[in-house]
Structure formats: C-alpha cells, structure tokens
Amino acid sequence: MAHTTTTLRVITASLALMFLTQSGCAEKSSPIIGLRTIGVAVPDIEATIAFYEQVYPMAVVARYTVDAEVFGALTSDLSDSTVQVAEIELPNVYLRLFDFSAEKAPAGVERPVYQAGFNHMALISPLENDAYAQFGSAGMEYISRGDAPVDIRGVGYLYAYGRDPNGTMVELEMAPEPIRSGDFWVGHIATVTPDIDRLVAFYESLLGYDVRTTLSIPKHPRLDDVADLDGVSINGAWFVLRNIELELWSYVKPETVAYEAPPLIDRLGYNLMTFEVTDLKAGIAHLKAQGIPIIGEPSNVAGWDIAYFRDPDGNLLALEQRSKSAVTPSIAEKAWIDVATFGRE
C-alpha cells in the first residue's frame, strides 16, 4: 500500500464517496488477535456506570482494585493510591474503567475535538433506537450544532458528537441499514494525530494489516456542524481488525494540537488501548522487531499479563495475554469481521 501522502482521496461532493475509496486489506505477520479493551479514566466509577446503564445494554463482568504502583511511571505520583477498575462487556469489545481515587488524581479537562490523542469511541445503533434522544435524556452534552443529529452524507446515516458527564467525547452513529443486530456496538475508536502518515505506518507494522481506507476532506459544511467548527479540513485513515475498526484523523484546519508530553494513565478520559495476543513473549518480540520499546516490565492484572508501550504520538497502548485466572474471556469470541474482505458475519 502506498503511503497516505499519495493515496489520500480528495472528496468534494459527499462523504458517501468514502465507501468507494476502500483498498485491499492484506494481512501480514502479527500476533495480535484484536482490540480487547478501550480504557477510560473516570472521576467516579459508580456514577459513570450508572450513566451508561441508562442508555445501552452493558454488563459489568468484573470489579476489582489494584495498587496504583502496578502502573509504575505511567501515573503522576499515585503510588499510595488504590485504583478501582470495572470491566464492561459490549457486543464486540470491552471497556475498562479506571477510578484513581487519590485526592491528588488530576482533574478532567474537556479537550478540543482537534486535540491529539484518543478522541472518541463511536457507538453505532439502528436508526429507530433514536440514540440521540436517549443519550440527551440521560445527560449527554452535545457538541454538534442544532437539536438533531447530522446527516453528513445525505443518505440517512446520522451522526453527532457529545460529551458524557465526565467530559469524555462519544460519537453516535445511527444507521438506517445496520450491519449487525443489537441495540449498540462500538464501530471504532478514533485517534487524532499531528502526523497521519507516521501513525498509519506505525499501525501497519503493529497490526500486520495495510491501511483499509484513506481520504481527505478539504471542506464540508455538515462536518462543520458535527464538530461545531467552521471550515474544517481533515485527513483520515481506517484500519480493520477482527472485531472493530481504528479511525485516525489529522486536522489540517484547525491544526491538530499535539501533546506537550506523553499522557499518563491517570489522566481523565480515554487513556489506553489494549490488544490481545496469544503469546506475550512473541508479541514483545514483534514490538522489538518494529523498534518499539516496552515500558518497564510486564505485569499481571486480573489474570492478564500486560506489556505497555506507546505509539509515535505518545498514546498509551498495551499487549495482553490471558491466563487461566483471567476475569474476562478472550476477545476472539467477539471476532466478526474478515479483515481481508471487510465482510461481517
């Protein structure tokens, strides 16, 4: 696959063309099974669970506490803190909520939509569910303009950005022709980057897949409405895993705001993505072969052996291997996408 500098498509009429610009998704060598968890640091784990239980089916499959020292240098001096963790099962992925309960845990900040880092998860639902009204009634504060979701592509698929009570951004996608059954599933986790070519190359090496889709949008008024920004210009790229997609955005206008320093795991908001492997040693060897160092020594949390590392932007990632004592099952049970054809079961 050529680098995105030569493959970005300029779309000037409708985002419907996005679905005509997909390329092949050749699978290479990688020990990764899929994206297992999306991590979110929250100020009040009970209130967060209560909020989301109002709006979509979810199962809290594990609750446990760990000492913050297990995260080593990944926290901001919380070695005497106890961390509450909740593992939440969704149809195709897990959420891992972290509540760093020490008084010195950092406060939440509503970051701009063009801030580098993990940006949002996309919850997809059938159009008739009216997720926009459900989340609004539960207390979602919408970023998108107006009092209704936006039909960006003019074909009946509705979109809206919003923030949950913690200030964490969520995208709602309401589909008239959903690709799977159920009330909600996570379509993708999105990351904003100041250098999309660099991040695409990183994920191609990490995942063992070519980038699936790339595009460039120099101007689109309905995208302005979704992001509540004027004159938005962006480049995007998508990767397909066996259970979810990864979405990358680089804001050209307004320009992406990069990290001043790599974020720590106790920073409120999306803080971690973990990828499951069947052999952690082989996974670490794969990272080293790509020139990616792990952070500290692998640790074990709730029956999962974990090795942390960062992408070129400083976002925190991890490889996880399940042991017999693991509190949650393998993500392989939720695989439903053929990465070679993008076909779904």
Residues contacting residue 333 through CB under 8 Å, at least 6 positions apart: none
The one-letter amino acid code at 229 reads L
* Dist CA 203 CA 209 (whole Å): 8
333 vs 61, 100, 215, 323, 337, CA distance in Å?
15, 30, 32, 16, 12
Residues 6+ apart with CB under 8 A from 32: 206, 207, 208, 241, 275, 276, 277, 283, 319
What percentage of the chain reaches a pLDDT higher than 70? 88
The predicted-structure confidence for 212-267, as pLDDT tens digits, reads as follows 999 999 888 999 999 999 999 999 999 999 999 999 999 999 999 998 889 999 99
Tokens, residue 269: 């908001």
Residue 169 has pLDDT above 50, yes or no: yes
pLDDT-derived band at 16 (thresholds 50, 70, 90) equals very low
Instruction: With a cut of 50, say whether residue 88 has pLDDT above it.
Output: yes
Give the pLDDT score at 142.
98
Tokens of 195: 């250098």
- For residues 27 and 53, which has the higher predicted lDDT (pLDDT)? 53
The string of pLDDT tens digits covering residues 143-154 is 999 999 999 888
Q: Is the pLDDT of residue 108 over 90?
A: no
Higher local confidence (pLDDT), 180 or 252: 252
Q: pLDDT confidence of 114, banded at 50, 70, 90?
A: very high
Q: At residue 4, does pLDDT exceed 50?
A: no
> Does residue 58 or residue 330 have the better pLDDT?
330
Q: What is the arithmetic mean of pLDDT over 76-86?
A: 82
Q: What residues contact residue 41 under an 8 Å CB cut-off, 6+ apart? A: 97, 98, 99, 100, 265, 266, 267, 268, 269, 271
pLDDT confidence bin for 183, thresholds 50/70/90:
confident
Secondary structure (3-state) at 194: coil
Burial class (CB in 10 A: 0-12, 13-18, 19+), 1: middle
Average pLDDT, the chain: 87
When comparing pLDDT for 343 and 97, which is higher? 97
Contact 88, 49 (CB under 8 A): yes
pLDDT band at 172 (very low <50, low <70, confident <90, very high): very high
- Tell me the two tokens of residue 219: 């101007």
Question: Where does the chain have alpha helices with state H?
Answer: 4-7, 45-53, 131-138, 196-207, 221-227, 280-289
Of residues 138 and 342, which shows the higher confidence score? Answer: 138
Give the pLDDT band of residue 8 (cuts 50, 70, 90): very low
The CA-based angle 198-202-205, given to 5 degrees, is 140
Q: How far apart are CA 310 and CA 288, in angstroms?
A: 12
180 against 122, higher pLDDT: 122
> CA 309 from chain center: how many Å?
16
